[in-house]
Structure 1
């Protein structure tokens, strides 16, 4: 057939009649003369029905109809087309291999100068046509009505088509998309990253799922949004890429919920860690520093913790701040390498703030003071009074919060949180978190303050009840030491004494009330006074210990105490040792032999029901008796037998001066801060 038929126009017309999906499946092209003789037979027609062009040219098109089927429909369709009307229909054709084939045809009359009136017939496998037509209907419905944003892009990543949902998402009509790239129409999203993902899909054929597009579009230019994007390659029948289909779902709300939930988990984790780390030591400086260290960098890039100077000196915190505030810096934690470091006052520095300063305002109001965005407009009014805000701004500080330290209705100080990294200003949730951290630290700081006050009171009480001047009887030389527990441990109830008895004898005694604090010190004083009174009655050691038990039983809250009572006759060297659950005394002979006296240990005073057993011991002249409380020999992580061995080794030179010997025992056995009170007494008998 010669090229006198306007083929492009015919194909366009037939494609329109086919519903726009003509190019989606192989279509055979057949042309006939006015009498039905086939004058054109293309390659697709051969593939569809199996006949070659030479086998069909010159034959009547009716010969293609299935001999066993009703041919009237096929003839009527051709006759209608030949009479000047375009027709569509389905007929059963006869394949060259001998099997029926259902074929969908579109026929239209054409004018051909060579053959006169002709009919142009397009034919396709009816099953494939119905499948594609159904898929096309599904696609058209999905594309038009889906709430998911859908776009079709060519291999140059230019938009070919977008649906209404994507128009709404982007805030642009389809005409603004077509022929342009994503980076051209939406510069305020991560378009280049998205285009790189689409190129990977075109190159590899592997879909990309859930790639996040973030930014702002004309539909909502003042707020960031987040979309989940997926990309799939579109291929031709030869599996060559011809474009990309993109689908987008707006997940801003879900992402915000996820971010808020994650932030909530981080806040809870930080508060949980604060409850374990901050304030465990009951030490002012350490508690303040723990708060600063905990908040950097998870909440802020630099933190300072300042406590009222009066509180740091040990005085009561003042309630009025109308005249300003004097604060001592006890905590400081800048982010490593931060330019803010040089602007933060060092630890221990006392800072004075006038009544109008933000620090003082935060303290007086007892509420966090927030400057979400530190800029020139905020700094300018303060420049008349101080250059510090301008310096902070120049160092990169863009947001900060001051949270007062308030506990038990008392203002204790303030914690300040600075941000320098580009992570956004402090939010309302951040301010709440800073306030909660400050509140927990404030309670710990107040506990430390109250503890130190009680600790000092107990130490004063303890020392006042110890014997101030010990005057041993002739024949006995005594040296003694008392070492209270360190500041982070409570004072106990340790005491010692030397009492003169009748007949030139002496009572060497040492005790330890089980417990700590003022209560233990008070009971210790009561027992000490009782022993001094009972010793004047010349009671036996056993009767004296029973009287002490009776004194403990009279207490409103029963307590226990260990006790060691040694009655010594320096003239004869004969000693009577009675123990009530106390560590055994050590005996160092003049020749350097040292041993722990093996006497019945007894049970602590206050247990009751157990008899106390005195033991007679011969002590050669010049020997040392060493009495001590358990604080001297007990230490965490150390074996008690090893510690007792160290004690006996240190006593191997009994000729030393007693004061030097006491100092040596304390220095070697307690090199660091004591965990418990220590009472020590060394007596040289008959020297």
Structure 2
């Protein structure tokens, strides 16, 4: 049996596992006796220089130095080591195939326990690779120690092996608390399972995972959620086998919060921009309230109700005091159906009475938003004393609640209420601000509707009071008339008509339209109507009467225009003298049914000034019909005026049993829906032609709208 080599025994413990440095650099281990004879040559030395152990063991170490290089450095290094000193340096060795190999070596003496001689243990590595790895190691150590990015090394079981100071600070735990434990054990209040799934994916596939979000709380900040951007890369040995994972973490909480706030700001601006288009598109209380509710769901709340003061819903003025409680009419609700929360809330049209101590009343009286960010039994206690609804909503998962009063022009008009049950996050102060801005816009639109309807009703009352209530034409002439106000979404205009007795068996038929709408137009109409009645008694020529009316318009503080048609008819001869000022032309229907659109000089509207009006004369057959109307009858959006006039003449050519029936037929066909403008209609039939004497005193009341 071969006796063990004493030198091999000495080096076996030091070099047993040294197959590579950091698992990536082949390190040759060579041992010599005291006289320089090679006694050990490992596998890494074979890979590095190509010689087998049989080729080198027993030879002197100096023979491995390259003959073309300076061998003095190699000899001096070995001699120093042999002299008892550890040395390191660079030498050029001889590769088995003949090319030079630059080596970095580390040599030190190993005393022999049996004599005073020392063996020499030499470690050698390819110099370029050693320098590269040494540099990489220095960079890694510096990065690991000083990087603000959290870094961790984990094994294949996803247990921490090492963490840097930045990660210690992020997690609020020292490295010793990390080592040997998994993330789920260490930080249960973050989404650890999701993170470990990502790391296992990296281990299995070798593909890195970038920017996976870790969210939750750590001992470093236990009272607030934070967000980290995490990336994972697999670590492999030289054979490509997975030996662990490197994780890098960057705290992006502030950036995420800033991004979220910016995104929320963009959403708020978009919602406010949309509100300017969708809320208040009509002057209608119910529609405006519903527009607010529809806009807020689901982008601000999961359910919304809009309640307006009951007095306002009835068309009365809003009350100023709320000391005795308040009655509210529900005019808006979203969603209307399909929601358990919405089903609990009172339906549209319901009047709700709240005592003075109820939160609804307090919110209205204080004119400030009311917020319960987190709803619970304690929070609903004040309201629960008045109704069971808060408890029902709490059972349905409503966890956050706010109210915003509808206030415009220093008047309290109602309140909007917002609920969250599906959205996880509670209402915030930013949500309260947004709700306040939305309700402010809705309140202004509601108040505009209130003011409009008040003025509309005033103008309509004024208009009706100034129209002739009972026209009594001279014997023999039949008259029918209609006044149709514009729809509720359009202001009342200044249309009027009249029939006046004149001396010498004559009658004046007139119709006019003050341009503009509202109370002012109605008032000017009344002024012109009274002026015509006074001037007609002076028996002025038609064109002179128009000049006097124009002078009356010039006296107004604000300029106004009006169209006007004035006809003086001799009932005995059928002779007519006609003058018009920018008004639609009259139409005649002969007893035989022939329809003519009278061709009169159009003139310019009264109030333009500097116009010379022209009087046209024509004679109508006995029994002929004369039709006067305002432009609301023949003008319609999207229709050509000539087509509408053609339709008018076609309707007049049809048989008609009476003038009343003719009025109704014209309005039914030419204004079947809500009119955009007021319509005034005056129809007269001359004596003769077999007229029904029972219709000679016919007068029709204005139509309601």
Instruction: Return the TM-score normalized by structure 1.
Output: 0.94
Alpha-carbon distance in 1 for matches of 2:10, 2:531: 131
Tell me if structure 1 keeps the 8 A contact 2:327–2:352.
Answer: yes
Alpha-carbon distance in 2 for matches of 1:142, 1:281: 66
Alpha-carbon distance in 2 for matches of 1:339, 1:151: 49
Aligned equivalent of 1:332? 333
Tell me if structure 2 keeps the 8 A contact 1:301–1:335.
Answer: no
Aligned equivalent of 1:39? 39
Aligned equivalent of 2:362? 361
Where in structure 2 are the equivalents of 1:346-357 lying within 5 Å? 346-357=347-358
Alpha-carbon distance in 1 for matches of 2:288, 2:317: 18
In structure 2, the CA distance between the partners of 1:230 and 1:633, relative to structure 1 (3 Å rule), is same
SS at match of 1:79: helix
Where in structure 2 are the equivalents of 1:601-612 lying within 5 Å? 601-612=602-613
C-alpha deviation, 1:113, in angstroms = 9.8
- State whether structure 2 residue 152 is matched by structure 1 residue 148: no
C-alpha deviation, 1:382, in angstroms = 4.3
In structure 2, the CA distance between the partners of 1:8 and 1:295, relative to structure 1 (3 Å rule), is farther
| Number of aligned positions between the proteins | 683
SS at match of 2:151: strand
Alpha-carbon distance in 2 for matches of 1:253, 1:14: 47
Offset from partner CA, 1:102-148 (integer Å, 9 cap, x none): 21112234478999853332111112111111110110011011111
SS at match of 2:566: strand
Where in structure 2 are the equivalents of 1:231-380 lying within 5 Å? 231-334=232-335, 337-380=338-381
Tell me if structure 1 keeps the 8 A contact 2:330–2:348.
Answer: yes
Offset from partner CA, 1:55-101 (integer Å, 9 cap, x none): 32322110122334443332232234345544322222233444433
- State whether structure 2 residue 103 is matched by structure 1 residue 103: yes
- State whether structure 2 residue 397 is matched by structure 1 residue 396: yes
Tell me if structure 2 keeps the 8 A contact 1:5–1:111.
Answer: no
In structure 2, the CA distance between the partners of 1:148 and 1:336, relative to structure 1 (3 Å rule), is farther
Where in structure 2 are the equivalents of 1:248-647 lying within 5 Å? 248-334=249-335, 337-380=338-381, 382-647=383-648
SS at match of 2:221: coil
Aligned equivalent of 2:51? 51
Q: Which moved more, 1:388-397 or 1:238-247?
A: 238-247
C-alpha deviation, 1:611, in angstroms = 2.5
Query: Which ranges of structure 2 fall in alignment gaps of 5 or more residues?
Result: 692-705
C-alpha deviation, 1:209, in angstroms = 2.1
SS at match of 2:340: coil
Aligned equivalent of 1:66? 66
C-alpha deviation, 1:237, in angstroms = 2.5
Alpha-carbon distance in 2 for matches of 1:542, 1:408: 49
In structure 2, the CA distance between the partners of 1:12 and 1:140, relative to structure 1 (3 Å rule), is farther
SS at match of 1:503: coil
Offset from partner CA, 1:588-612 (integer Å, 9 cap, x none): 2333332322222221111123332
Offset from partner CA, 1:226-285 (integer Å, 9 cap, x none): 011112222223333322211111011111111111111211221222222212312211
Alpha-carbon distance in 2 for matches of 1:641, 1:37: 123
Alpha-carbon distance in 1 for matches of 2:12, 2:158: 28
Alpha-carbon distance in 2 for matches of 1:358, 1:92: 93
In structure 2, the CA distance between the partners of 1:335 and 1:78, relative to structure 1 (3 Å rule), is farther
Query: Which ranges of structure 1 fall in alignment gaps of 5 or more residues?
Result: none
Aligned equivalent of 1:9? 13
SS at match of 2:491: coil
Q: Which moved more, 1:41-50 or 1:529-538?
A: 41-50
Tell me if structure 2 keeps the 8 A contact 1:509–1:565.
Answer: yes
Tell me if structure 2 keeps the 8 A contact 1:339–1:396.
Answer: no
Aligned equivalent of 2:185? 184
Q: Which moved more, 1:520-529 or 1:65-74?
A: 65-74
Q: Which moved more, 1:507-516 or 1:3-12?
A: 3-12
In structure 2, the CA distance between the partners of 1:335 and 1:213, relative to structure 1 (3 Å rule), is farther
Alpha-carbon distance in 2 for matches of 1:593, 1:276: 51
Offset from partner CA, 1:272-313 (integer Å, 9 cap, x none): 222222123122111111111111111111111111112222
Instruction: Return the TM-score normalized by structure 2.
Output: 0.92
Aligned equivalent of 1:653? 654
- State whether structure 2 residue 84 is matched by structure 1 residue 81: no
Alpha-carbon distance in 2 for matches of 1:420, 1:517: 47
Tell me if structure 2 keeps the 8 A contact 1:297–1:335.
Answer: no
SS at match of 1:340: helix
C-alpha deviation, 1:554, in angstroms = 1.3
- State whether structure 2 residue 682 is matched by structure 1 residue 681: yes
SS at match of 1:565: strand
Alpha-carbon distance in 2 for matches of 1:259, 1:267: 12
C-alpha deviation, 1:43, in angstroms = 3.5
Alpha-carbon distance in 2 for matches of 1:507, 1:646: 27
In structure 2, the CA distance between the partners of 1:133 and 1:539, relative to structure 1 (3 Å rule), is same
Alpha-carbon distance in 2 for matches of 1:464, 1:426: 54
C-alpha deviation, 1:525, in angstroms = 0.8
